[in-house]
A and B are shown apart, each in its own frame.
Chain A
Amino acid sequence: MAARNERLARLPLWLALAFLSLFVLVPLAVLVFETLWSQDGFTLDAWRALADDENAVEQLLASLRLGVAATCISAVLGAGHAWLTVARDMPGRSWLGPLGVAPLVVPPIFIAMAFSDLVQDVAGFWPCAILLGVAHAPFVAVLTTRGLRTVDGRAYEAALLLRGRGPADRWLLRSIAPELIAGCLLAFLFTVAEHGVPEFLTVKGKTWHTYAEGIFSRWSRRAVGTTHAELQSPIVAALPFLAALGCMLWAALRLRASNPDRGVIRPLPVQTLGKLRWPALLLPITYLGAGVFLPLFVLTRWVLGSAQRLDPMGLDYARESFAKAMDQGLPDLMHSLYLGLGVAAVVVLLAIPLARQSARRWPLLDLLTSLPAAMPAILLGIALARTFNSNPGIGWTNFDFYESWGFAVCGYAVRFLPFAALTLASQVRRQSIAAEEAGRFVQRSASSRALRLHVLPLMPAAWSAFVLSFVLALRELDLAVMLPAANATAVRRLANAVHFQHEDWSGVIALLLLSAAVLLPLLPSLLAGRKLSSLS
């Protein structure tokens, strides 16, 4: 009976590993296999085609350049915001600090749409880098804030007394370097994997392309005479890139894990900015203005009829916009919400056993779990489609899994699982091993012990992972393009709707979407009175 209980308690882990195998390892293997196998049998044509294809190399370099430029912008905005709100006496820092995470809620495509609405001819490399830099700065802001909060203020003061401000600040920088680098690597990963924003700006007149665009454009032309080699060559190009990104991501995660929360520490002393106290507000104003308030302003103007050039704009038109949104966009919004909730639930259920296993027994499981985060969503989508679309292996039932919402949920869950698994694994590592050992003396079933002593203490971190997955799912555009059931999500529809002068009701849907994304993380603060600083 005891052995059976032990097996039962391990069932979630085996299910999670099976899920990872089915939705990560098998699709990747299929992708690699297909670069080597065509209708004519084994071939290296795809690899030769890549060698002859200058475009692919240019696209890769363009992605790298974009990634570096956007990450530098993210680092300045994110790290600057964290430093000013945690360690300096900037006015309003207590509420500006938690707001550092806010741009994460806004899909990058919304920021791009807002900029292109306000400024004529937003196109080219630097606007794209700036937009993506702003959109991904929260990764740097949140992790740098965490780093600054785990530095013992007494150690900083000791350095300050011994060596003065300059060396003390350099010591501080070295102390938070793991978190800062981890945040920058995450921002870099998200930028180079981004397809939606560069593609949106292409429509606006851009003349350069990223490799994610290259993959997608070949994929979308697969039915009109593209050869097997041509279709596969961008994927071939992406594979070493994927390996490099995977290693970087793993390094980022290890760096982050190597800087765990210490025991009782004294917070960093808040130092005065002197005459720069008020001018320092420019940075958070720029960061939050570009990442949150500008998109909100533009979306509100759309609702009021700006795109229809109404003069004056008014609430009457807003009511019309709302009515149209309810008529034409509500199902998409509901699809997005249901999908987001489903994805968040699946992600958390999978992440808990994986996190426990990677934190306590198999550290290398982190690498496997984080692999999907290193894959551009477009590539992940192609891999999933290649594996599950009309696959005879799973075609023995009449149920079309590929077209179903279940498939969309699984696809999204794979993409966001690394972030949840990481968050939870970090939490498990902070928990006392002795307290878990104490649980082994309790004469209850293994399942009961696991639930009460392993899962329940993880609930606050699981809630964070749930919210993060929900928000990321709501703003995901790339996978929404690739997975059939996700085509009907609000973000996907909005990205198209603005091309057809539907900004009025699109604005309503976008604002409702953002409200839902904001409401969930705020719930603990609203219901249980948790401090806003817990958001970051």
Chain B
Amino acid sequence: MTLAVSIQQLQCSRGQFRLGPVDLQVPAGARVAIVGPSGSGKTTLLRCLAGLQAPDSGTIQIGDTIVDDGQTRLAPAERHVGLVFQDGALWPHMTALKHLRFAAPGLSKQDALALLDRGGILSQANKKPGAMSGGEAQRLGLLRALAPAPSVLLLDEPLRSVDVHQRDGLVLLLRSMCDERNVTSILVTHDRDEALALADYLVVMRDGQLVEQGPSIDLLEDPQTAFTAAFLRGAACLSAKANGNGQVQTPFGNFPAPDAAKANSDMRLVVFPGETTADEQGEGPEAQILAVTPSEGDGLRLRVACEDQIVIARAATRPTGATTRLRLTAKPRLLPWHNHATEPQS
């Protein structure tokens, strides 16, 4: 497998925040998304990769070239990467055509116009960013990053400043242009939908550490940590305790404890939306109704509060007017013990 990017033991501190150590390998041609909440370190990681921020230690290799290892530190322009900024970061005094020709010194006018045409903004060739819509500006940001033919395209929340109705077009353009040019793309975002739309492989980060990584479908179907389950699928994470008898006591009943679980240790019980039902006769924990909305399938979709967590549940019938509390029935999962250290505390 040819690697487009290889990061080893990367560490970077900025004020109180510390990133890493991070190890990450991205195969050539892959579409990777680094996801996590604000302050998780994903943007710092991207900036280190781009050469906009100097790491404290570690090695970054792009293709066959070591671009940063403490002794060697290549400038951003020498790394053969392109970066699409979240707000476009366009040059306000240049037209779209000049953007491309300045970004790629060898690009002829014809080629630049063809690129603009490919990006669907040929009509904006002689306009400055101030005269473009958010979607057009972001398309130009993408074309500018791709114009010098980089081997790796870095994307910093590229859909954030784009109107909802323009997002699909930009997603399709991004994916198709990366495929055409065989460019490896690395996206950072805190938006699950953006990540799933633009990437096939997810890397989940929290507090400067990689929590979990894998193909998108695997992480969605079978997350290995409660944090990933909550972040990617909106799962509720309920508190649970292991007793000394090899059982874990939960509001949904007792479960066999993982082998390494110690007595009285905190654990997480993960409840996925769609796998939980709510009714008045159930035996599960009690929950308070917060909102009732129509479900996409049969029945109703309920948002209920259970032990300080919001759980999405299904209900076959509409609760009667006087009913404010229901009981939940679910197939919760107790996640492997060794990952609990990085899970949310509440």
- Interface pair B91/A439, CB less than 8 Å apart: yes
- Interface pair A438/B105, CB less than 8 Å apart: no
Q: Give the nearest-CB partner of A436 in chain B.
A: B89
Q: Give the nearest-CB partner of B87 in chain A.
A: A434
- Interface pair A440/B52, CB less than 8 Å apart: yes
Chain A CB within 8 A of B197 CB: no
- Interface pair A440/B51, CB less than 8 Å apart: yes
Stretch of A29-37, A399-407, A451-459, A523-531 contacting B (4+ beta carbons < 8 Å): A451-459
- When chains A and B are docked, how far (Å) is the Cα of A452 from the Cα of B105? 13
- When chains A and B are docked, how far (Å) is the Cα of A40 from the Cα of B38? 69
Q: Assuming the A-B contacts A437-B52, A443-B105, are A457 and B77 also in contact, with contact meaning beta carbons closer than 8 angstroms in the complex?
A: no
- When chains A and B are docked, how far (Å) is the Cα of A228 from the Cα of B83? 65
Chain B CB within 8 A of A224 CB: no
Q: Assuming the A-B contacts A435-B91, A453-B91, are A442 and B77 also in contact, with contact meaning beta carbons closer than 8 angstroms in the complex?
A: yes
- Interface pair B75/A456, CB less than 8 Å apart: no
- Interface pair A457/B76, CB less than 8 Å apart: no
- B93 surroundings in chain A (CB, below 8 A): 456-457, 459
- B141 surroundings in chain A (CB, below 8 A): 438
- Chain B 107-144 interface mask (CB, 8 Å, partner A; 1/0): 00000000000000000000000000000000001001
- When chains A and B are docked, how far (Å) is the Cα of A456 from the Cα of B102? 13
Interface size class of A (residues with CB under 8 A): 10 to 19
Q: Assuming the A-B contacts A440-B52, A443-B105, are A457 and B91 also in contact, with contact meaning beta carbons closer than 8 angstroms in the complex?
A: yes
Question: Using a CB-CB cutoff of 8 Å, which residues 431-477 of chain A contact chain B?
Answer: 432, 434-435, 437-444, 452-453, 456-457, 459
Chain B CB within 8 A of A203 CB: no
Question: Using a CB-CB cutoff of 8 Å, which residues 81-115 of chain B contact chain A?
Answer: 81-83, 85-87, 89-93, 102-105
- When chains A and B are docked, how far (Å) is the Cα of A439 from the Cα of B50? 12
- Interface pair A457/B102, CB less than 8 Å apart: no
Chain A CB within 8 A of B55 CB: no
Q: Assuming the A-B contacts A438-B83, A438-B85, are A444 and B91 also in contact, with contact meaning beta carbons closer than 8 angstroms in the complex?
A: no
Interface residues of chain A: helix, strand, loop or mixed (majority): helix
- Chain B 63-86 interface mask (CB, 8 Å, partner A; 1/0): 000000000000111100111011
- When chains A and B are docked, how far (Å) is the Cα of A409 from the Cα of B52? 40
Q: Give the nearest-CB partner of B84 in chain A.
A: A438
- A432 surroundings in chain B (CB, below 8 A): 87, 89, 92
Chain A CB within 8 A of B48 CB: no
- A437 surroundings in chain B (CB, below 8 A): 52, 76, 83, 85, 89
Chain B CB within 8 A of A2 CB: yes
- Interface pair A444/B102, CB less than 8 Å apart: yes
Q: How far is the CB of B105 from chain A (nearest CB, A)?
A: 6
- A440 surroundings in chain B (CB, below 8 A): 51-52, 75-77
Chain A CB within 8 A of B248 CB: no
- Chain A 409-448 interface mask (CB, 8 Å, partner B; 1/0): 0000000000000000000000010110111111110000
Question: Using a CB-CB cutoff of 8 Å, which residues 364-410 of chain A contact chain B?
Answer: none
- A443 surroundings in chain B (CB, below 8 A): 77-78, 104-105, 148
Q: How far is the CB of B88 from chain A (nearest CB, A)?
A: 8
Question: Using a CB-CB cutoff of 8 Å, which residues 1-45 of chain A contact chain B?
Answer: 2
- A434 surroundings in chain B (CB, below 8 A): 85-87, 89
- B91 surroundings in chain A (CB, below 8 A): 435, 438-439, 453, 457
Q: How far is the CB of B47 from chain A (nearest CB, A)?
A: 9
- When chains A and B are docked, how far (Å) is the Cα of A457 from the Cα of B145? 20
- Chain A 478-520 interface mask (CB, 8 Å, partner B; 1/0): 0000000000000000000000000000000000000000000
- When chains A and B are docked, how far (Å) is the Cα of A441 from the Cα of B105? 12
Q: Give the nearest-CB partner of B74 in chain A.
A: A2
- When chains A and B are docked, how far (Å) is the Cα of A444 from the Cα of B77? 8
- When chains A and B are docked, how far (Å) is the Cα of A304 from the Cα of B6? 83
- When chains A and B are docked, how far (Å) is the Cα of A434 from the Cα of B145? 13
Q: How far is the CB of B143 from chain A (nearest CB, A)?
A: 12
- A441 surroundings in chain B (CB, below 8 A): 50, 76-77, 81-83, 103, 145, 148
Q: Assuming the A-B contacts A437-B52, A457-B92, A457-B93, are A442 and B87 also in contact, with contact meaning beta carbons closer than 8 angstroms in the complex?
A: no
Of B51, B81, B86, B92, the residue contacting A435 (CB under 8 A) is B92
- When chains A and B are docked, how far (Å) is the Cα of A442 from the Cα of B104? 7
- When chains A and B are docked, how far (Å) is the Cα of A442 from the Cα of B144? 10
Q: How far is the CB of A435 from chain B (nearest CB, A)?
A: 5
Q: How far is the CB of A464 from chain B (nearest CB, A)?
A: 16
Q: Give the nearest-CB partner of B52 in chain A.
A: A437
Q: Assuming the A-B contacts A435-B91, A440-B52, are A452 and B77 also in contact, with contact meaning beta carbons closer than 8 angstroms in the complex?
A: no
- Interface pair A435/B90, CB less than 8 Å apart: yes
Q: How far is the CB of B267 from chain A (nearest CB, A)?
A: 43
Q: How far is the CB of B178 from chain A (nearest CB, A)?
A: 17
- B75 surroundings in chain A (CB, below 8 A): 2, 440
- Interface pair B103/A442, CB less than 8 Å apart: yes
- B52 surroundings in chain A (CB, below 8 A): 437, 440
- When chains A and B are docked, how far (Å) is the Cα of A441 from the Cα of B152? 12
- A438 surroundings in chain B (CB, below 8 A): 83, 85, 89-91, 141, 144
Q: Give the nearest-CB partner of A6 in chain B.
A: B75
- Interface pair A442/B102, CB less than 8 Å apart: yes
Q: Give the nearest-CB partner of A456 in chain B.
A: B93
Question: Using a CB-CB cutoff of 8 Å, which residues 33-65 of chain B contact chain A?
Answer: 50-52
- A442 surroundings in chain B (CB, below 8 A): 77, 102-103, 105, 148
- B104 surroundings in chain A (CB, below 8 A): 443
Q: How far is the CB of A447 from chain B (nearest CB, A)?
A: 13
- Chain A 139-151 interface mask (CB, 8 Å, partner B; 1/0): 0000000000000
- Interface pair A435/B89, CB less than 8 Å apart: yes
- When chains A and B are docked, how far (Å) is the Cα of A356 from the Cα of B77? 21
- B103 surroundings in chain A (CB, below 8 A): 441-442
- When chains A and B are docked, how far (Å) is the Cα of A504 from the Cα of B92? 51
- A444 surroundings in chain B (CB, below 8 A): 77, 102, 105
- When chains A and B are docked, how far (Å) is the Cα of A432 from the Cα of B52? 15
- The interface centre, meaning the residue of A435, A438, A439 with most chain B CB atoms within 10 A of its CB, is A438
Q: How far is the CB of B104 from chain A (nearest CB, A)?
A: 8
- When chains A and B are docked, how far (Å) is the Cα of A459 from the Cα of B91? 14
Q: How far is the CB of B148 from chain A (nearest CB, A)?
A: 6
Q: Give the nearest-CB partner of B148 in chain A.
A: A443
Q: How far is the CB of A9 from chain B (nearest CB, A)?
A: 12
Q: Give the nearest-CB partner of A440 in chain B.
A: B76
- B148 surroundings in chain A (CB, below 8 A): 441-443
Q: Give the nearest-CB partner of A437 in chain B.
A: B52
- When chains A and B are docked, how far (Å) is the Cα of A438 from the Cα of B102? 11
- When chains A and B are docked, how far (Å) is the Cα of A98 from the Cα of B118? 46
Q: How far is the CB of A503 from chain B (nearest CB, A)?
A: 48
- When chains A and B are docked, how far (Å) is the Cα of A419 from the Cα of B255? 73
Q: Give the nearest-CB partner of A441 in chain B.
A: B76
Other 19 A-B pairs with CB < 8 A, given A434-B85, A437-B52: A2-B75, A434-B89, A435-B89, A437-B76, A438-B83, A438-B85, A438-B89, A438-B91, A439-B91, A441-B148, A442-B77, A442-B103, A442-B105, A442-B148, A444-B102, A444-B105, A453-B91, A456-B93, A457-B93
A-B contact pairs, 26 of them (CB 8 A): A2-B75, A2-B78, A432-B92, A434-B85, A435-B91, A435-B92, A437-B76, A437-B83, A437-B89, A438-B83, A438-B90, A438-B141, A440-B75, A440-B77, A441-B50, A441-B83, A441-B103, A442-B77, A442-B102, A442-B103, A442-B105, A443-B77, A443-B148, A444-B77, A444-B102, A459-B93
When A and B form their complex, which 10 residue pairs have the shortest distance between CB atoms, in order from nearest? A434-B89, A440-B76, A435-B89, A438-B89, A434-B85, A443-B77, A457-B93, A441-B76, A442-B103, A456-B93
